[in-house]
Amino acid sequence: MQVDVGALILIQIAPQKSKTKAMTQNPEAPTRNHLRNLWYFAVHAHTLKPGEIRPKQILGEPVLLGRTKAGDVFALRDLCPHRGVPLSRGRMIDDTVECPYHGWRFAPSGQCRLIPSLVGQEGVDPLKIHVYRYPVREQNGLVWIYMAEDERSPAPTQEPPHLPIAPDARPTLIEAQLFPCPIDHAVVGLMDPAHGPFVHKAWWWRSQGSSYAKEKKYEPSPMGFTMVTHTPSSNSTLYKLLGGNRTTEISFQLPGTRIEHIKAGRSEIIGLTTCTPLNAGETEVTQTFFWNLSWLAPFKPIAQVVARTFLGQDRKIVTDQMEGLKFNPRMMLIQDADTPAIWYFRLKKEWTDALAQRREFTNPVKPATLRWRS
């Protein structure tokens, strides 16, 4: 996709050959616009118990997630190579996944370990039959899955997003909602700095209708860009609760991960937001928070309501947006408030081009100071 940076920019999100792009809203459309050879958030680790399997669609692919009795997480393509039945309809037996149709069993490696119907004279070796296995990583209570370009792709050369927390840290608060939109709209909304006064109207966030001039410095960072450490706006009740000497740093990286690191003395809050495309028309947006604020524990139910309300407001405006996009309008990006969205499309294009040309990715983002009112 090509996006030119000017005072006013016409955009469309589904890539086509012409410079004027056409939006694809059909949920059944191909998922060719999804980035490959990258890590996507799959599930929270505590939701996957030992000996359990569960299905999930990611990038339009059927995925089976499972955990062995020893606690190791694995992910397989959720299709039996025999007759195409979802393996998730079966069960775990002795750390193998049994297909419900003919009882074929597959190890977490994807290798077939048993075909019950064989009598030994067919010349069929079950060990030579495999289901595709997705690379997975479990860290800080999060399970990430690597969605490769194809089954022949080499092993991942990079790791999932790094969080500035201790290795044994686990989520303190979680909120996830399904957005009825392609991932591009979810990501652009995620990084939009100007919608706050209109979408997030609440007494605990800011005075309704209020807006302030902003000026923030940005730097390129691995696979994305970072709003460098700064003192956050004092107009938020939530920020005020943390006390003085507050700082925050916000980073974004492909394919759709936002990390906000808030510090106030020894108090720290890490807010991780991930966008996982289930298919061409649905994106799971998950907010995962980590904090070391013991005094906040009694207020966690209130914090949960706040997170649900905040994310729900984003979901509602995107749902409204989808109504308008049924008519396939052209859309605009303007300076400076939409520059992060422009960077996102440039990053996405560069990653796609680098994969196609079998070359190293070169971050197209340059250091900049952006100004807007919100």
Nearest by Cα to 171 from 276, 303, 314, 264: 303
Q: Give the class (CATH, top level) of 173-373.
A: alpha beta
| Per-domain boundaries in the chain | 38-147, 173-373
Query: Going by C-beta distance under 8 Å and a sequence separation of 6 or more, which residues neighbour residue 242?
Result: 262, 264, 267, 269
pLDDT of residue 212: 80
More confident residue, 101 or 197: 101
Buried b (16+ CB within 10 A) or exposed e, 41-77: bbbbbeebeeeebeebebbbbbbbbbbbeeeebbbbb
**pLDDT value of position 16:** 35
**Cβ 270 vs Cβ 299: under 8 Å:** no
pLDDT score at 2: 36
pLDDT value of residue 121? 87
pLDDT above 90: percentage of residues in the chain: 74
Thinking of the domain 38-147, which architecture would CATH place it in? 3-layer Sandwich (2.102)
Per-residue pLDDT at 203:
61
What mean pLDDT do residues 56-80 have?
98
What confidence score (pLDDT) does residue 188 get? 95
CA 355 to CA 352: how far, in whole Å? 5
What is the mean pLDDT of the segment spanning 139-160? 94
Residue 51, pLDDT above cutoff 50: yes
What does the buried/exposed string (b/e) look like for 157-183 if buried means 16 or more CB atoms within 10 Å of the residue's CB?
eeebbebebeeebebbbbbbeebebbb
Average pLDDT, the chain: 89
- pLDDT band at residue 349, thresholds of 50, 70 and 90? very high
What does the alpha-carbon distance between residue 181 and residue 282 come to, in Å, rounded to a whole number?
5
* In the predicted structure, residue 224 carries a pLDDT above the cut 50: yes
Distant-in-sequence, close-in-space partners of 167: CB < 8 Å, separation ≥ 6: 139, 140
DSSP letters of 228-250? EEEPPPTT-HHHHTT-SSEEEEE
pLDDT digits (tens, 9 = 90+) for 69-82: 999 999 999 999 99
pLDDT at 244: 67
**pLDDT band at 266, cuts 50/70/90?**
confident
Cα Rg of the chain (Å, integer): 22
Q: What is the pLDDT of residue 28?
A: 35
300 pLDDT more than 80:
yes
Q: What percent of the chain has pLDDT over 70?
A: 86
Q: What is the pLDDT of residues 159-191, one digit of tens each?
A: 999 999 999 999 999 999 999 999 999 999 988
Contact 255, 38 (CB under 8 A): yes
Q: Residue 265: what pLDDT?
A: 85
